[in-house]
Amino acid sequence: MHLSIIIPAYNESDRIRSTLVETMRYLDGQGYKSEIVVVSDGSTDGTKESVEKAFGRSGKVSLKVLEYHPNRGKGYAVRYGMLRAGGAFIMFMDADYAVPIQEVEKGMVLLEKGADIAIASRAIAGSVVEAHQNLFREMSAKIYTFIQNRYLGINYKDTQCGFKIFRAEAAQELFQNQRLKSVIFDPEILWLAKQHGFTVTEFPVYWRHIENSRIVYDSFQKSLFVFQELFRIKKLHR
């Protein structure tokens, strides 16, 4: 198995089919063996059944749907899938297809050249953002990233883009040690990568904002939760 793709999903039955169609069409055209692992994170809308019914016979690409209850958070779902993948390269991508699957080629080239981890970035030269988030969310993200980088001692312009690819050895080491279950697992993984001496490279991608996000921080309480999670990272690994 050359490439494993993990897709965390929480009540995504309405749009995950199109994501899988595009992803499988791309993988069918490649000369290597691949798999897609959809992790239904406590979905209550029939996400698992919807995928199985539509892709019961997936053809060349191996497709698995894993599900558990109750909902435990995106970080838990990604970890659950990453530790059960069989590829030499293991990546995770969001179910909303904000980044086209073809962009994986850029990350795979970086891994083939020796990087341990390649992360997509919407904020570096060469990236294309077709549809932006609203101004408040973009400004909030910049403030969060500034604080995050200084607190963790890392230096990435964009840690929250849901499109990251790992060598299997790095994935196993890092996700076994992951502690956060929430959406803030990305900076935890990148901080752990620094602690373990793994090389991380950023690559530009095409990205478009998709409405109806399953993860919305639209109140002071929810925004505060993000920072509470961030400041737990070092404490969890003492």
36, containing H or E segment: strand 34-41
How would you class 113 by CB atoms within 10 Å of its CB: exposed for 0-12, middle for 13-18, buried for 19 or more? exposed
Model pLDDT, residue 180: 97
pLDDT at 137 over 80: no
221 phi/psi in degrees, rounded to 5: -65, -40
pLDDT at 60 over 90: no
CB neighbours (10 Å) of residue 159?
A: 24
Q: How far apart are CA 185 and CA 65, in angstroms?
A: 22
The string of pLDDT tens digits covering residues 206-223 is 999 887 655 555 566 877
The string of pLDDT tens digits covering residues 75-134 is 999 999 999 999 999 999 999 999 999 999 999 999 999 999 999 999 999 999 886 666
Model pLDDT, residue 135: 66
pLDDT at 138 over 90: no
The CA–CA distances, whole Å, from 134 to 148, 209, 210 equal: 21, 9, 11
Domains, the chain, ordered by start: 3-236 (3.90.550.10)
Provide the whole-model pTM. Answer: 0.93
Q: Say if residues 220 and 189 touch (Cβ distance below 8 Å).
A: no
Q: How far apart are CA 152 and CA 17, in angstroms?
A: 37
Q: Say if residues 98 and 210 touch (Cβ distance below 8 Å).
A: yes
The pair of structure tokens assigned to 87 is 């590829």
pLDDT at 33 over 80: yes
Q: Rg (Cα) of the chain, in Å, rounded? A: 17
